Chains A and B, each alone.
Chain A
Amino acid sequence: MYRYDEFDETFVRERVAQFRDQVRRRLDGAITEDEFKPLRLKNGLYLQLHAYMLRVAIPYGTLSAHQLRQLAHIADRFDRGYGHFTTRQNIQFNWPQLKDVPEILDLLADVEMHAIQTSGNCIRNVTADQFAGVAADEIEDPRPVAELIRQWSSAHPEFSYLPRKFKIAVTGAAHDRAAVLVHDIGLRIVKDSVGEVGYEIIVGGGLGRTPMIGKVVRDFLPKRELLAYLEALMRVYNAEGRRDNKYKARVKILVHEIGIEEFRARVEAEFAGLDKSTINADPEEQARIAAYFASPTYAALPASDPALEAQCKANPAFSAWLDANRFAHKQAGYAAVTISLKPIGGIPGDISGAQMRVVADLAERFSFGEIRATHAQNLVLPHVAERDLFALWQALGDAELSTANAGLITDIIACPGLDYCALATARSIPIAQALSNRFADPERQRDIGELNIKISGCINACGHHHVGHIGILGLEKRGEESYQITLGGDATENAAIGEILGPGLTAEEVPDAIERLVETYRAERLPGESFIAAVRRLGVAPFKAAFLQETHHAAA
């Protein structure tokens, strides 16, 4: 894991002091509420429906046990004993007092954490594959470049007042788990024809009210040119992104309006004019950062643990958990394990302070002290020896953290929705809970197989509904909550925006409608065919028919 040096430490401490001063100037009237708002947002502090909310950055989703314990402490002392993991690998605290926020930031700084740029019209927390450094199909660990971008984008003098927020994701693997095609910038680590490692740069993807799949703006960028290229691209966006309408201000709209060729030409012209040697990080700096992400010292283990088979036979629940929550590790005898934060009927992404401590302890016992947060609102222990899996499962079970549903239909992504969020137009959490209860039966979940349901409580799409295999968007129609269902979305390298199936539903109608879609899949699927593969093969028509038929009956 990355560790702060004296410069990082000083920077974060000075940022806390700066925020203290900003709060003081706001309280004595030197700056207005309108002026203060972007300042607090750039420190992750939102004013929600009932209280302030503090969003803490977990850069590229990597956490240490030590850091997670501090988050538990903050949850217990300043929140109501829990935290909420988000779709950007961050954690939110929903009940802090404004007066306590500088102190919370101090506590974060004590463990090399912060809330910098988790909101506001600036470059946000950089996200990455949650299996970085673990996946066998990886060209290179994406975290060193994510860390370089984190540092470069922090308090950037030119790009802190952008037209709109700006999100960057990085993947180093062939299979995209970081959703790089639906980010403002997606970086894919690739090799060119002579084997040199560099980046494919994708621009202009995004969700929100105008979902778009990103386009390749640069096929191959040599590693050492990255910061100069990003500076050129951000400069074009800062100068030319629309500022007349906040709904048209993301870079995806600029790319769409002028076309990718013209956008590319403008970025390349800017890039060509830069004195790159004065901007780029030198290779030694890149190597300095990369060294922190070296693999831990694994034990030499056989490829599979002989006891595991017997443990599975004797404990079907353990076997089911392994099937769903184990991810193949590049190192023989190891696995990465997803800790589901989606208990049946629970609130997606919520975790209590006590549970955080359990996870921290287990990470130290079984995973070299390392934890990952995923954009699906779960946690991962990235380096668990196969021989420890059974003990880990038992310990997780004692803390109600052994739900066997990673990637299954009850592993639902949901934004906080109208229960918390000031922007929401409908509730998300109760819909997630109703669906989780409807599909609770583990046998049935396994039979359905991989299926991502994603729920957003408004058009801003924090729940990523556009790229859910089944997406649910909560709107408000004439004072009533109305849920629009989409089908066929995909956040991976096959990125697709889901298609709307028909008229909006009431909250009560949603579980039946989703069940009809699932039953259509079960009736039509080929052996071994996943839900999303079946949707791609069949098209939406049979699903739409099933969806509309019943809706029509209900309306009649």
Chain B
Amino acid sequence: MPLLDRTGTYIPDSFSREAGANRALQPFDGAEPGALAIEVANTTAPESLVPFFGAEMIAIGFPAYADGRGFTLARRLRHLGYTGTLRAVGPLIADQFAYALACGFDELELPEAHAARQPESHWKTAARAFSATYQRGYARGLNILDQRRAARAGGTHG
């Protein structure tokens, strides 16, 4: 299925769900620690994935675009120290792209029809919708609270 990188560009997928593939993306059920890449449901307990943190990629399913559990699971895996690639798999829309990146995802795997009606330009525009947002501690560039803090620090030198 089409794969979108963090810049909003469609890229080839180096992983395969085919059994026995060279770079296999395998279901979490039945996977052994040491697996190259695993695919998990958004209801998976994050602690149960710690033994798999050597994986190059963990893919998290979004069964529906309005099911926001994947955002929290990604955030928790980053908290627990996972540093590999996080992939969101499901019918996300462009308006969720910035949220997904902020919660720790690196890439989005979309259903064919879904990608077909959302060209790269939509994702790139949506990702830039806000030049800064309010929440601190999420994986993105500028947040408003820290900018205000910096402005205060800059303004108190005299």
Contacts from A to B (Cβ < 8 Å): 5, 7-8, 10-11, 14-15, 17-18, 21-22, 25, 29-31, 35, 38-39, 121, 151-152, 154-162, 227, 231, 235, 238-239, 243, 273-275, 278-282, 284-285, 288
Contact = CB atoms under 8 A, between A and B. Distances in A.
Given A22-B95, A157-B98, 9 more contacts: A7-B144, A7-B147, A11-B132, A30-B117, A156-B135, A158-B75, A161-B68, A235-B75, A288-B148
29 contacts: A7-B132, A7-B148, A11-B144, A18-B126, A21-B125, A22-B95, A30-B117, A30-B122, A154-B133, A155-B130, A156-B134, A157-B102, A157-B140, A158-B72, A158-B99, A158-B138, A161-B66, A227-B136, A231-B137, A235-B75, A235-B76, A239-B72, A239-B73, A243-B67, A273-B79, A278-B137, A279-B135, A279-B137, A282-B149
Given A14-B129, A25-B122, A152-B134, A235 B149 contact: no
A32 to B, nearest CB: 8
A196 to B, nearest CB: 23
Contact of A157 (B65, B122, B133, B148): B133
A10 B137 contact: no
A5 to B, nearest CB: 7
Nearest to B75: A158
A158 B65 contact: no
A238 B46 CA distance: 14
A433 to B, nearest CB: 38
B79 A29 contact: no
B71 interface: yes
Contacts of A25: 94, 122
Contact of A158 (B66, B103, B125): B103
Contacts of B100: 157
Contact of A285 (B75, B102, B149): B149
Closest 5 CB pairs of A and B: A161-B68, A157-B102, A157-B99, A278-B137, A7-B144
A158 B134 contact: no
Nearest to B119: A30
A238 to B, nearest CB: 5
B93 interface: yes
Nearest to B80: A273
B157 interface: no
Interface in B106-139: 117-119, 122, 125-126, 129-138
A39 B117 CA distance: 17
Interface string B72-109: 11011001000000000000011110111011000000
B95 A238 contact: no
B1 interface: no
Nearest to B63: A243
Contacts of A18: 95, 126, 129-130
A278 B132 CA distance: 16
Nearest to B118: A30
B89 to A, nearest CB: 16
A275 B130 contact: no
B145 interface: yes
A530 to B, nearest CB: 43
A29 B94 CA distance: 13
Contacts of B117: 29-31
Contacts of A227: 136
A21 B145 CA distance: 27
B72 A157 contact: no
B67 to A, nearest CB: 6
B132 A158 contact: no
A487 B140 CA distance: 51
B66 A121 contact: yes
A446 to B, nearest CB: 47
A275 B137 contact: yes
Nearest to B117: A30
B6 interface: no
Query: Which interface residue of A7, A235, A282, A285 has the most chain B CB atoms within 10 A?
Result: A7
B138 A157 contact: yes
Given A29-B117, A151-B144, A273-B79, A278 B136 contact: yes
A161 B144 contact: no
B73 A14 contact: no
A316 to B, nearest CB: 52
Query: Which interface residue of B68, B131, B152 has the most chain A CB atoms within 10 A?
Result: B68
Contact of B145 (A154, A231, A274, A281): A281
A238 B133 contact: no
A371 to B, nearest CB: 26
A240 B144 CA distance: 29
Nearest to B91: A35
A231 B135 CA distance: 10
Nearest to B45: A239
Contacts of B125: 21
Contacts of B95: 18, 22, 39
A159 B93 contact: no
Nearest to B143: A7
Contacts of A121: 66
Contacts of A285: 145, 148-149
B60 to A, nearest CB: 12
A280 B135 CA distance: 9
Contacts of B145: 281-282, 285
Given A158-B99, A278-B137, A238 B129 contact: no
Contact of B134 (A11, A22, A30, A288): A11
Query: Which interface residue of B103, B130, B132, B134 has the most chain A CB atoms within 10 A?
Result: B134
Contacts of A151: 134, 144
A14 B131 contact: yes
A281 B145 CA distance: 7
A511 to B, nearest CB: 43
Contacts of B119: 30
Contacts of B73: 239
Contacts of A22: 95
A282 B137 CA distance: 13
